Amino acid sequence: MKVNKKVSIQGEWAKAKVDIHDGDLIKILDEGKTVAGDFGDRSVFNVETKNGKKLLSFNQSTVNYLIDTFGDDTEKWIGKEVKVWITMSMIGEKMRNVVYLTSPDWVETEDGFGSPTKDKVPIINQDDIPVIEEDADEHGNPL
């Protein structure tokens, strides 16, 4: 039988509501590592918090969002500032703080949170844009 060595990451872990708070901006400092955890693989990154360099495990929702935002090469995430969102969620049989990360422009809205730049970009049908001829009246009709 083959067995795998369990590798731990050395360093201080970021604690929700101690090192990071709702609305904080933190900086991603490295490309991260995949580490085997008790409940599957975890994506662990070094981040810069107000209390210094800390380790933070990025949940899959955060990883998916960051892939959509910054691409799937985590080396390109280095130096990016991200916004912290902390929510309470049932994990096992306990309510726990869950940390999500987004781009800094995300804001809380009545129905959750989202990017104001994504939400406010109007979708324009090219056929709806009037073409005004130089020699035309105020309605765009040729003179």
Walking along the chain (143 residues) 10 residues at a time, the average pLDDT comes out as: 72 94 96 86 95 96 94 97 93 91 85 60 50 56 59
Predicted pLDDT of residue 57: 94
Question: Does residue 31 fall inside a structural domain?
Answer: yes
Predicted pLDDT of residue 7: 62
From the CB of residue 77, how many other CB atoms can be counted at a distance below 10 Å?
Answer: 23
Pairwise CA distance, residues 35 & 40, whole Å:
8
SS3 52: strand
Name the residue with tokens 């899959």: 60
Residue-number span of the structural domain to which 59 is assigned? 25-109
Number of domains in the chain: 1
Predicted pLDDT of residue 142: 59
Question: Does residue 67 fall inside a structural domain?
Answer: yes
Element (H, E) at 65: helix 60-70
Buried b (16+ CB within 10 A) or exposed e, 56-74: bbbeeebbebbeeebeeeb
Question: Does residue 75 fall inside a structural domain?
Answer: yes
Predicted pLDDT of residue 37: 77
Question: Does residue 140 fall inside a structural domain?
Answer: no
Question: Does residue 12 fall inside a structural domain?
Answer: no
pTM, two decimals, is 0.73
- Say if residue 47 is exposed, middle or buried (CB neighbours under 10 Å; 0-12, 13-18, 19+): buried
Question: Does residue 84 fall inside a structural domain?
Answer: yes
Predicted pLDDT of residue 122: 45
Question: Does residue 10 fall inside a structural domain?
Answer: no
Question: Does residue 143 fall inside a structural domain?
Answer: no
Task: Give the closest residue to 85 by CA, choosing from 61, 54, 116, 52.
Answer: 61
